[in-house]
Amino acid sequence: MNVYSTMSRQKEPLKVENNKIKLFVCGPTVYDYSHIGHARTYISFDVIVRYLKHEGYSVFYLQNITDIDDKIINRAKERGEDPLELAHKFEAEYIKDMETLNVKNVNFYARATEHMQEIIDQIQDLIDKGYAYDTPTGVYFDVSKFESFGKLSNRNLDDLQNTRIEVDTTKKDPKDFALWKKQDEGPYWDSPWGNGRPGWHIEDTAITESYFGPQYDIHGGGLDLIFPHHDAEIAQMEAASGKEPLVQYWMHTGFLNVRGEKMSKSLGNFITIKELLKDYEPDVYRFFVLSTHYRSPIDFSDDILKQAENSLKRIQNTAKLVVAQQENDNLPQDDECSIIDDLESFRSEFFDAMNNDFNTPIALSSLFDFTHKLNKVIADNQVSAESLALIVDTLKEVESIFGFTIIVEDDASESSDELLNILTDVRSQLRADKNWDLADKIRDDLAALDINLEDK
């Protein structure tokens, strides 16, 4: 299995000890409802974890929850709420959204506020080793002391911008970033340097060190986090531990745009997961996400979502045919076609794609090709019961890896079947009476409900 690492800018063979993988992905800052960009990243890593487990790896998937931050405090002031209560409310909504999207492989969500002692200990360690210093406004990391700062993003120190903190004249250098922000207004925690709360970057390394130690296997997140967030994480942990690298593989998902533009509230194209799910099933969004490689940019629009919806339905309809055919009492004893060879070719193409840096669009393409072949041979009753069982097992296997439904449980009632029979009988009579317009209208209306009639 080959995995692309952002650090090396190339695909590398996945090598871990005893098939055990420690994976950390940056979680959300919970001051609002999660949006479809969050969903893109977390669906992608959910599928990566599903596939790693399928291939026999034992994965511990850790995700942090930033439940204290300027954004949370400011939002709480606007709403007249307690910042921690607001954060934990939106955290619960985030986890609920993930469950709805079938993102269920995170082993533990670690709140920043529940790891305050670990954060303080790591800051003190950095001070003791000369990488951080105390000022009247806070404790800062001295980036000049870490010579390789910016090695993940390939940026020089001169490129560093203080994207998460205000300019502070008490710092030695404007490029230094906050580890501890002193304040006497809540929420705050006591520390050796006075009351305050942690900076953004330090919580991640304090949390990962607590569960994984100073080094682990995979760190994931969105492309926008590489600089300065992940560069800061590397500097903090490698400076504190004296060990490198912090992680073996850095994995990042591409940007999500909405109709060709960056998603933002100011542009009026900001879409929360809850808003998305009013119009589309969770499976449709998962299918849409997996139709693009996780490292590539992805463009969201209603037209593209509808295409994804139709494509998923085509796969599901083929699966329905396969399952229904298993009830056929007149199946051939042996295959009258090359479907088993096609099945083996599909499996080979599918797993080759997934082993090549989790290339889900190529894997999906191979699934489409296979279902296209299936449609014809099943309609012509050329597949044996034994082969049908193997095909169903494979479709269930793909379903478990991708996390969307392929084999849909048939919940149609008998009365629905009877009504459909009445409509088709009426239409046959209309055709016999040469009432083509009305017969065509029935056919078209049924097609709008994904019920396709063919006159043979």
Q: In CATH, what number is assigned to the domain containing residue 206? A: 3.40.50.620
State residue 166's pLDDT score.
Answer: 47
Full residue range of the structural domain in which residue 236 is found: 2-253
State residue 155's pLDDT score.
Answer: 87
Q: 208, 237, 253: which is the final residue of a domain?
A: 253
Are the C-beta atoms of residues 285 and 38 closer than 8 Å to each other?
no
Closest CA to 450 of 272, 313, 250: 313
> DSSP assignment of 303-366, as one string?
HHHHHHHHHHHHHHHHHHHHHHHTT-TT--SS-SSSHHHHHHHHHHHHHHHHHBT--HHHHHHH
State residue 362's pLDDT score.
Answer: 98
Cα 135 to its chain centre, rounded Å, is 40
Report mean pLDDT in 10-residue bins for the chain, 456 residues: 98 97 98 97 98 98 97 96 97 98 98 98 98 97 96 80 55 94 93 97 98 98 96 98 98 95 86 97 98 97 96 96 94 96 98 98 98 94 97 98 92 61 82 85 81 78
**261-262 β-sheet, strand order:** 261-262, 256-258, 298-300
Rounded-to-integer distance, Cα 394 and Cα 432, Å: 43
CA quadruple 212, 216, 219, 225: dihedral sign: positive
Strands 2-5 and 10-13: antiparallel
- pTM for the model: 0.88
Do 398 and 418 fall into the same domain? no
Residue 156 lies in a domain: yes
Residue 109 lies in a domain: yes
State residue 163's pLDDT score.
Answer: 44
Is 22 in a helix, a strand, or coil?
Answer: strand
Are the C-beta atoms of residues 204 and 24 closer than 8 Å to each other?
yes
Number of domains comprising the chain = 3
Residue 290's region, left for phi above 0, alpha for psi from -120 to 50, else beta, is: alpha
State residue 416's pLDDT score.
Answer: 67
Per-residue burial over 323-345, b = 16 or more CB atoms within 10 Å of its CB, e = otherwise: bebeeeeebeeebebebeebbee
Rounded-to-integer distance, Cα 304 and Cα 302, Å: 5
Residue 398 lies in a domain: yes
Read off the CATH number of the domain in which 320 is found. Answer: 1.20.120
Residue 285 lies in a domain: no
State residue 411's pLDDT score.
Answer: 58
Amino acid at 227: F
